[in-house]
Amino acid sequence: MNFVKCLLVFVFVFTSCKTKSNLISTTIVTEKISAKKVARKHVASNFAEKSVLAKLKANFNNGKLKQSISVSLKIIKDEVIWLKGTKFITVFKAKITPTSIHYYSPYAKNYFEGDFSILKKLLGADINFQQLQNLLLGQSLMNVKKHKQHVVITDNAYVLSPKSQAILYDVFFSVNPSHFKLNKQAIVHTTKNQRLDISYPSYTLVNDAVFPTEIQIKAKQPDAFTDIDFILKSVQFNTDVDVSFSIPKGYKQIKL
């Protein structure tokens, strides 16, 4: 597995619950409220725990490669996202901080060190650490309280979009009326035929925290696509997590 394939697998990891027995009901009927109130409730629903320790399964498909992999995830909120992918043996390890991405593969005997510009190259959208963390937690990639929003009710959800969309792309956020986390979010760059769609089919309640039990990512660029589906197996909050990371000697550096 080369670097791009490994990075695509680990970069969209998110957290969830031990079982599906606590799945949150979505039978609440959406009532008309202001966009400002929807935005405020969504921001208020943000994850408040200090750390995450999770196990999940990742299914990857880009038309050329179909693969399933087990992933261990550790998050120290606002500081570190740490991942290890395995398939019989360790395939990769990664450590993501607000300023850098570090990665190495014992399988391929190579490593990468760089900034978040690699994500724009792979996905066609600028994604920083905070946005990646929000994506993993079912929160919007952009601050919906920062700009005035327009709201419509579609498929029993509140769909927020900035009243003044960015010049180069459009963004949309579908907010669940039960818990005000996201059902979907999208970044669409029409002129370049690029889009990033992220869906959260279900959530669960664990220790009063609402978490996704599944996340689906579809990244489309001209002549290329990547589909990733994550299903969570277990999670613990506020435990001591070891995020130590050291690239072994003798590995070949990947230049991009």
- CB burial of 32-60 (b: ≥16 within 10 Å; e: otherwise) equals eeebeebbebbeebbbebebbbbbbebeb
pLDDT at position 24, please? 64
Q: Which of 22-26, 113-117, 156-160, 230-234 has the lowest mean pLDDT?
A: 22-26
Residue matched to tokens 């279900």: 202
CB atoms within 10 A of CB 180: 20
Coil, helix or strand at residue 109: coil
Alpha-carbon distances of 255 from 85, 86, 220, rounded to whole Å: 21, 24, 24
pLDDT at position 14, please? 33
pLDDT tens digits along 63-104: 988 989 999 999 999 999 999 999 989 999 999 999 999 999
Asked whether the predicted pLDDT for residue 16 surpasses 60, the reply is: no
**DSSP calls for 134-177:** HHHTT--SS-TTTS-EEEEEETTEEEEEESS--SS-EEEEEE-T
Q: Which of 25-34, 51-60, 199-208, 224-233 has the lowest mean pLDDT?
A: 25-34
pLDDT tens digits along 95-125: 999 999 999 999 899 999 998 877 766 665 6
Residue pair 228/12 in contact (Cβ under 8 Å)? The answer is: yes
Instruction: Express as a percent the part of the chain with pLDDT over 90.
Output: 58
What's the pLDDT band for 9 if we cut at 50, 70, 90? very low
Distance of CA 118 to the CA centre of its chain: 16
CB atoms within 10 A of CB 108: 16
Domains and CATH numbers, the chain: 3-241 (2.50.20.10)
Distance of CA 119 to the CA centre of its chain: 12
pLDDT at position 123, please? 61
Q: What's the average model confidence in pLDDT over 134-153?
A: 92
